[in-house]
Amino acid sequence: MSERKQKPPVPIAVSLLSGGIAGGVEAGATYPFEFAKTRAQLRNEPGVKSPRNPFAVVNAVYRNEGLRALYKGCGALVFGSIAKDAVRFLSFDTIKNAFRDPETGALTPARNMLAGMSAGGLASIFAVTPTERIKTALIDDARGARRYRSTMHAVRLVVREDGLKGLYRGFAGTTLKQASATSFRMGSYNILKDYQEVRDIPQNTAMNFVNGSVAGVITTLCTQPFDTIKTRSQAAQVTTTAEAVKSILRDGGAAGFWRGTIMRLGRTVFSGGILFTTAEAVSKVLTPMVQKVEKVAL
């Protein structure tokens, strides 16, 4: 086992750009799974059993509503994911660097998780809650009322009818979900990466993808109840977080909080791999460029 070398901090511009690009790629590539999961978590339609197989949901929507319907709300999620992951990677790297041991550069697992939790809270405030609210409302609206003609039309209608606070419906559930999810996702990924680097395990594309997928599974299993509450509270029908919790218990009991777990796993296994593989690849390209610019500036 080789002695661990202290790594230089990731430049701010690299964290921001690699996170944003990775978030957009990940959201667009895995959106049908997100669509299926959200549909399953919304209120049950009378006499219709809630589906569990994401492929069955995708297939049914494609047959009955067309390919375009599978991407209802995708624009809102992609835009939100670019902003969310830019904020998330930037704040995580910044907080992580502040938490490192000044002499060795080491970061304990607990501090890795705390840095992720802080980053998730910031992302929820500045990006996630409004975009998740619009995405969820669009998917819910497409099941029946079909009042929203586009993402921007949905934004205008929500603000007109419910004020700016309408964009922050489900803020408590979303923030709990984001803080916990980012803590587990970013924290577990970096714990795995640190463990492997100490043991000289190469960090190539395949290993980045595997680590990201493992982090995605851990995140889903540990945070699913928060995700279900968030989805219910952000439906097209105005609902508070407390009302969302009551409706989940009424529809499915305690097990209802875990509705959509299999569907979310189908997405997070791929999304975790795609997110971190893309972020690492972009970071490798951008870091030398940014460092060169910084040297010239000095």
Per-residue confidence band for 7, with pLDDT thresholds at 50, 70 and 90 = low
* 208 lies in some domain: yes
Per-residue confidence band for 183, with pLDDT thresholds at 50, 70 and 90 = very high
What pLDDT does residue 1 have? 42
* In contact, 26 and 81? CB cutoff 8 Å: yes
Average pLDDT over residues 103-110: 78
* In contact, 276 and 209? CB cutoff 8 Å: yes
Residue with tokens 């511009």: 13
- Which range has the worst mean pLDDT, 9-18, 46-55, 151-160? 46-55
List, in sequence order, the alpha helices (H) in the chain: 12-29, 31-41, 54-65, 74-99, 109-123, 129-141, 151-162, 171-198, 205-233, 241-252, 261-297
* 7 lies in some domain: no
Instruction: Retrieve residue 186's tokens.
Output: 């970013």
What pLDDT does residue 213 have? 95
Average pLDDT over residues 118-136: 89
Q: What is the pLDDT of residues 170-181, one digit of tens each?
A: 888 889 888 999
* 4 lies in some domain: no
* 2 lies in some domain: no
* 39 lies in some domain: yes
Instruction: Retrieve residue 131's tokens.
Output: 């975009």
CA distances from 183 to 16, 29, 163 (A): 18, 23, 31
In this structure, how many other beta carbons lie within 10 angstroms of the beta carbon of residue 153? 12
* 68 lies in some domain: yes
- Find the CATH number of the domain harbouring 153: 1.50.40.10
| Cα(240)–Cα(221) distance, integer angstroms | 24
83: containing domain:
12-297
* 3 lies in some domain: no
What pLDDT does residue 84 have? 87
* In contact, 204 and 273? CB cutoff 8 Å: no
Residue with tokens 């840095």: 115
* 120 lies in some domain: yes
Radius of gyration over every alpha carbon of the chain, rounded to an integer in angstroms: 20
* Average pLDDT along the chain: 86
Q: How many domains does the chain have?
A: 1
